Amino acid sequence: MSKYVTKLKIERCEKLDKQGYRRSKMQCKLDALLRRLPPQHEKYLQIESDLGKRRSGDFGENSIDYYLSQLSEVQDCIIVKGARLLLNKHHFQMDTLLLFPSFFILLETKHLTGTLLFDPDYQQLIQIKKEDINLEISRHDPILQVKMQYNQFKRWLANHNKEGYPGFCFVGVTNQNAIVKALSNPTLVQEFVVRSPALTFKINDILANQQPKRSTRFSPQEISFLITNHHAPRNVNILKDYNIGALEILTGVACPNCNKLAMEKLPRKWSCPFCKHQSKDAHISTLIDYSFLFGTSISIREVCRVLHINNIRSARRMINELSLKRIGTTYNSRYCLKSLVEQQNAPRLKGAFVNFVLLD
Ligand SMILES: [Zn+2]
């Protein structure tokens, strides 16, 4: 099965840090933007706060993945993360989708702090944070959200001649310190809301109950392949979203040690004027930052501008060493940066019995 999965055409844009923590493409974009914005910029604090929220969400996703990778005695399970599909001219997104031969499970994850009061009768979730217990924050009802996604996915499957694939949906609460309470309809809350450590038990229960009536079997590989082929990545233009001009972005090679801009070019290496750190390949992260902010191809003139190199031949030599794919004619050629982003990725997540397909 794993051989089949490796054949899937997957755009892997997540980066993993040294601990194996997976960052979403959006977190990578926000990271790159914040690193390259002057701290006194009017949008700096907003982006810093948005990055914090994204980090927390990604952390929740990673913790869910950890528990799912612990699923044992499961055969042929594929977990598809972050699929975005088109249904009747609108896209819908699914955080986590588990595909088994006899059923699927759709999971909407919430990584929220404080006390979470589920109120399905009024289609809301009220969050009370420890910092201000008098402030009630109203959020979308995740039970309603996941039920809507479930219906959309069922319709999408039917449109692709996959009718009758049974499924379940849950809301996964990933923050261990959050307090979960039901403000209304506790039976419904109990049925749909599950904390990450209990997730595997819930799945094993469903598996145990499903075994005797395995009349129709579906192929998780086939369905994950169908989803991957129809996945529509969001491709957020982050500069446009925050209304920030290209010239407001700071250029130069960021120091891998202290994160400051910009390192100085010495023959065959980079040197940080602040912490004296030296690096041979610090320009790679800068080119990756560029791809997250401006797009996946770059001209040699742009390479000189963003890396602060005034010698076009030296820039060309540096790019040639990276073996980037060249696009266009000699006069107008650009270099594709996708392979750099992919090289930074560690192998796809894998449990002993479970395969992950990461879309973003
Ligand atoms: Zn430094």
Which distant-in-sequence residues (6+ apart) come within 8 Å of 321 by Cβ?
Answer: none
Beta strands in the chain (DSSP E): 15-16, 22-23, 77-87, 90-99, 104-110, 115-119, 124-128, 137-140, 167-173, 179-182, 193-195, 264-266, 269-271, 278-279, 297-299, 325-327, 334-336, 354-358
Co-location of 53 and 116 in the same domain:
yes
Report how far ligand 1's centroid is from the alpha carbon of 313 (Å).
Answer: 26
Residue 3 lies in a domain: no
Report how far ligand 1's centroid is from the alpha carbon of 257 (Å).
Answer: 5
Report how far ligand 1's centroid is from the alpha carbon of 118 (Å).
Answer: 47
Co-location of 156 and 290 in the same domain:
no
Average pLDDT for residues 209-220, to the nearest whole number? 73
Question: From residue 16, how far is each of 12, 271, 278 by CA, in Å?
Answer: 11, 25, 23
Report how far ligand 1's centroid is from the alpha carbon of 278 (Å).
Answer: 8
Residue 1 lies in a domain: no
Question: From residue 334, how far is each of 13, 140, 285, 303, 324 by CA, in Å?
Answer: 20, 44, 18, 10, 10
Report how far ligand 1's centroid is from the alpha carbon of 54 (Å).
Answer: 26
Residue 241 lies in a domain: no
Band of the pLDDT at 15, cuts 50, 70, 90? very low
Q: What is the pLDDT of residue 358?
A: 78
How many whole angstroms separate alpha carbon 108 and alpha carbon 11?
A: 22
Co-location of 107 and 227 in the same domain:
yes
Model confidence pLDDT, tens digit, residues 51-61: 999 998 888 88
Model confidence pLDDT, tens digit, residues 295-338: 989 999 999 999 999 989 999 999 999 989 998 877 778 999 98
Co-location of 13 and 155 in the same domain:
yes
Which distant-in-sequence residues (6+ apart) come within 8 Å of 120 by Cβ?
Answer: 141, 143, 144, 184, 185, 188, 189
Buried b (16+ CB within 10 A) or exposed e, 110-138: bbbebbbbbbbeeebbbbbeeeeeeeeee
Long-range contacts of 273-281 (CB under 8 A, 24+ apart): 279/255
Q: Flag the least confident range among 4-13, 246-255, 347-356.
A: 4-13
Map 236-303 to HEC letters: CCHHHHCCCCHHHCCCCCCCCCCCCCCCEEECCEEECCCCCCEECCHHHHHHHHHHHHHCCEEEHHHH
Q: What is the pLDDT of residue 77?
A: 87
Report how far ligand 1's centroid is from the alpha carbon of 349 (Å).
Answer: 32
Co-location of 201 and 275 in the same domain:
no
Co-location of 171 and 33 in the same domain:
yes
Report how far ligand 1's centroid is from the alpha carbon of 163 (Å).
Answer: 57
Report how far ligand 1's centroid is from the alpha carbon of 252 (Å).
Answer: 13
Residue 243 lies in a domain: no
Residue 2 lies in a domain: no
Residue 163 lies in a domain: yes
Q: What are phi and psi of 336, to 5 degrees?
A: -85, 130
Number of domains in the chain: 2
Residue 242 lies in a domain: no
Model confidence pLDDT, tens digit, residues 26-35: 999 999 999 9
Q: What is the pLDDT of residue 232?
A: 92
Report how far ligand 1's centroid is from the alpha carbon of 254 (Å).
Answer: 8
Residue 28 lies in a domain: yes
Report how far ligand 1's centroid is from the alpha carbon of 285 (Å).
Answer: 14
Co-location of 211 and 307 in the same domain:
no
Co-location of 214 and 268 in the same domain:
no
Question: From residue 99, how far is each of 67, 194, 309 by CA, in Å?
Answer: 16, 18, 50
Report how far ligand 1's centroid is from the alpha carbon of 249 (Å).
Answer: 19
> Residue 252 is part of which domain span?
248-343
Co-location of 228 and 263 in the same domain:
no
pTM for this model (two decimals):
0.80
Co-location of 339 and 350 in the same domain:
no
Report how far ligand 1's centroid is from the alpha carbon of 29 (Å).
Answer: 21
Average pLDDT for residues 225-254, to the nearest whole number? 93
Flag whether pLDDT at 19 surpasses 90.
no
Co-location of 164 and 298 in the same domain:
no
Average pLDDT for residues 145-172, to the nearest whole number? 95
Report how far ligand 1's centroid is from the alpha carbon of 39 (Å).
Answer: 17
Report how far ligand 1's centroid is from the alpha carbon of 250 (Å).
Answer: 16
Q: What is the pLDDT of residue 211?
A: 63
